[in-house]
Structure 1
Amino acid sequence: MKTTISIEKTKSERTRHPEDQLGFGKYFADHMFIAEYSEGSWKEARIVPYGPLSLDPGASVFHYGQALFEGMKAFRGQNDRIHLFRPDFHVRRLAHGAEKLCMPSVPAELFTEAVEALVKVDSSWIPKSEGSALYLRPTLIGTESFLGVRPSQKYLFFIITSPVGPYYSEGFNPVKIWIERSRVRAAVGGLGDIKAGANYAASLAASTAAKKKDFAQVLWLDSMERKYIEEVGTMNVFFKINDEVITPALNGSILAGATRDCVIQLLKSWNIPVTERKISIDEVFDAHKTGQLKEVFGSGTAAVVSSVGELADQDHRITINNNQVGDLTKKLLNEITSIQLGKKSDPFGWVKVLES
């Protein structure tokens, strides 16, 4: 059954910025989508001008952390058509996260129709330059006003959009990653495998400290032994050791990334050995010492595929591939972005082309 979405167009357009000055997540488009949940159903689905939300100070999201989000992109593809990348994946991941946080799931039809309607309304905000996109942030929060540890009975689902360029200031050049040895982002059985706001709050101190050392992000290790690699703060991570690509197995504390899944599918289709398993930071250092570590790269919706040129902690500092983007990293980035833009065929069914 098609969702009825009312649309109120803005009377005052927001300021637009040159595409080469967008950065990531700094500017927002003209409209946003909102729907409210109470008494067992979603109501009042609507697109309205972008603006502040009105929330009671006692709302659950402020006191008990019921906050969950997704990150996805829309592109201006071939023949000026709008391409959404893997919307079905994000529908499923939001539903998984909602279950963990005791929140009502957003029906797939509501999620999909809201995204499509909002992107069409703000289609003029989709950048056209290489490496840019319209980033979408679907968000689910508890809004009931109460003080007491229980799930909220009211929720807000909203979507905002932001025209963006490359995630890292380095663009597509290799980034430097700091290995976090003391702090912990997530533990098995916790919230590490969903995009809960609490996960990112837990990462801020470490990422801020890393940036003060001139590192772009943090590489997190497991919470028990502090030796097994989990993920970078904004990306899943891959290591090319000799001819094999290794990435940490999803263990309940690692986010299942949409782009991670793309990378694995592509590698398998190219008959490149790819293994999901535990990998320790010591194994990586040993592989570097013996010349077997060929490439390190991260994958994520924001960064797509990002080369890692340096890994360091208090006692180690290694440079990977002479701080150059590796051939496999280049190939993966080119393949994924070409599929996103419709420059290459999409044998995996990742792209949804919106009809005008």
Structure 2
Amino acid sequence: MLYPCPSHPCKHKGFHKETIPMEKKNLDWGNLGFAYMPADYSYVCNYRNGVWEEGGLTTEHSLTLSECAGIFHYCQEIFEGLKAYTAENGDIVCFRPDLNAQRMGDSAQRLCMPPFPEDRFVEAVKEVVRANAAWVPPFGSGATLYIRPFMIATGNVIGVKPADEYQFRIFVTPVGPYFKGGDTAITITVADYDRAAPHGTGNIKAGLNYAMSLYPGEKAHAAGYSENLYLDSQTRTYVEETGGANVLFVDKQGDLIVPQSATDSILPSITRRSLVTVAKDYLGLTVIERPVKFEEVLNGDFVECGLCGTAAVISPVGHIEAEGVDVTFPDGTETSGPVMKKLRATLTDIQAGKIEGPDGWVVKIL
């Protein structure tokens, strides 16, 4: 077994063999919330003078920045989210980190930030997970090690322009389920606000998009709803996504309906893309990816609805309520309907190693 060298935080390039086993942390794994708990190591790498430096692990979990750093003034910030977990055979693995690397590169280009090399991204994820192996929850606990790569502008900027220095970091934290109700269907509402402008930044994973959703999100929570459903901001007639997840529907024929955006303002969820493959290749479902009018939802054309993303995989939606809106999904009113249940079970079985997935989906770390 390989373990991190604690004497060289930030600079070490590898791991040293140790005879003492790395024991799991003494945590109540089955009752973890979805909250930040500092682990032992983070990963950090700086961009200066036009190049990414070597980078490495650090035990420092705080940042010290200039008051003029670009992140504070022009919001050059992007992030990703993925998970490491213990498979059924005891391996520590993560799921499709190459797609997170690719999406983060796309986000960086859109915000005039230097993309972190995709191969280095994947290796950094592996390195920080190995270093924090004691924080990876055991198989069957329902918990995972959440991995948060992010990049911010650290260089000083006064005029409106991109910064010239950046920092890429990854921290990890053990978490429980995103929605505590598990498979209990949630009720969502329809936002009066817009999430993203047509041809704007809705298709990248940038903090600025999520900042826009905070106020309507708090209003929804105060009214007793779990999430907001956003319609397209140009016509307010098409379903886009919620504040933190893509939307899936099942129609009366049992087909999986995946909303698309005519103005490219829906985030390309890795979980959604994986579920589409599972639906087609493992469950033999018909999958239709197209713009979905909210009128179809109001007319009762769909019997199931789910929100999909890294944190929750699929959260069933039983009801959508708003002023003049009262929609119930008959096949998933209280818990996941049959299609969403199969989709979630199949994908999580692939992730856990119970079912063999496509090549490259499950990446062994330890």
One-letter amino acid of the structure 1 residue matched with residue 148 of structure 2? R
1:45-56 equivalent positions in 2, closer than 5 A? 45-56=55-66
Deviation at 1:225, TM superposition (A): 1.2
Deviations 1:211-238 (A, max 9, x none): 0111111111001111210001111101
Tell me what 1:282 maps to. Answer: 295
- Indicate the SS of the match to 2:170: strand
One-letter amino acid of the structure 1 residue matched with residue 295 of structure 2? D
1:186-265 equivalent positions in 2, closer than 5 A? 186-243=196-253, 244-250=255-261, 251-265=263-277
Q: Is the 8 A contact 1:67 1:197 kept in 2?
A: yes
Deviations 1:81-121 (A, max 9, x none): 11110101001000000000000010112211111010001
Q: Is the 8 A contact 1:7 1:48 kept in 2?
A: no
Deviation at 1:199, TM superposition (A): 0.2
Tell me what 1:320 maps to. Answer: 329
Looking at structure 2, the residues matched to 50 and 350 of structure 1 have their Cα atoms a distance apart, in angstroms, of 31
Looking at structure 2, the residues matched to 307 and 162 of structure 1 have their Cα atoms a distance apart, in angstroms, of 25
> Is 307-316 or 195-204 further displaced after alignment?
307-316
One-letter amino acid of the structure 2 residue matched with residue 344 of structure 1? I
Deviation at 1:5, TM superposition (A): 4.7
Q: Is the 8 A contact 1:137 1:160 kept in 2?
A: yes
Structure 2 unmatched ranges of 5 or more:
1-10, 17-22
Q: Is the 8 A contact 1:126 1:163 kept in 2?
A: yes
1:136 and 2:137 matched:
no
Change (3 A) 1:5 1:232: farther
- Indicate the SS of the match to 2:113: coil
Tell me what 1:61 maps to. Answer: 71
1:273 and 2:283 matched:
no
Looking at structure 1, the residues matched to 14 and 323 of structure 2 have their Cα atoms a distance apart, in angstroms, of 54
1:147 and 2:173 matched:
no
Tell me what 2:174 maps to. Answer: 163
1:330 and 2:341 matched:
yes
One-letter amino acid of the structure 1 residue matched with residue 189 of structure 2? W
One-letter amino acid of the structure 1 residue matched with residue 284 of structure 2? N
Looking at structure 2, the residues matched to 248 and 142 of structure 1 have their Cα atoms a distance apart, in angstroms, of 33
> Is 156-165 or 242-251 further displaced after alignment?
242-251
Deviation at 1:155, TM superposition (A): 0.2
1:108 and 2:121 matched:
no
1:339 and 2:358 matched:
no
Q: Is the 8 A contact 1:298 1:306 kept in 2?
A: yes
One-letter amino acid of the structure 1 residue matched with residue 256 of structure 2? V
> Is 244-253 or 257-266 further displaced after alignment?
244-253
Tell me what 2:3 maps to. Answer: none
Q: How many residues align?
A: 344
Looking at structure 2, the residues matched to 140 and 185 of structure 1 have their Cα atoms a distance apart, in angstroms, of 22
Deviation at 1:20, TM superposition (A): 2.6
One-letter amino acid of the structure 1 residue matched with residue 271 of structure 2? T
Runs of 4+ in structure 1 displaced over 4 angstroms? 4-9
Question: TM-score scaled to structure 1, two decimals?
Answer: 0.92
Change (3 A) 1:16 1:233: farther
Tell me what 1:89 maps to. Answer: 99
Looking at structure 2, the residues matched to 241 and 335 of structure 1 have their Cα atoms a distance apart, in angstroms, of 20
Looking at structure 2, the residues matched to 119 and 196 of structure 1 have their Cα atoms a distance apart, in angstroms, of 23
Looking at structure 2, the residues matched to 306 and 202 of structure 1 have their Cα atoms a distance apart, in angstroms, of 22
Q: Is the 8 A contact 1:310 1:323 kept in 2?
A: no
1:175 and 2:186 matched:
yes
Question: TM-score scaled to structure 2, two decimals?
Answer: 0.90
Change (3 A) 1:271 1:7: closer
Deviation at 1:31, TM superposition (A): 1.1
Structure 1 unmatched ranges of 5 or more:
none
- Indicate the SS of the match to 2:89: helix
RMSD across aligned positions (CA):
2.0
Deviation at 1:25, TM superposition (A): 2.9
Identity of aligned residues (%): 36
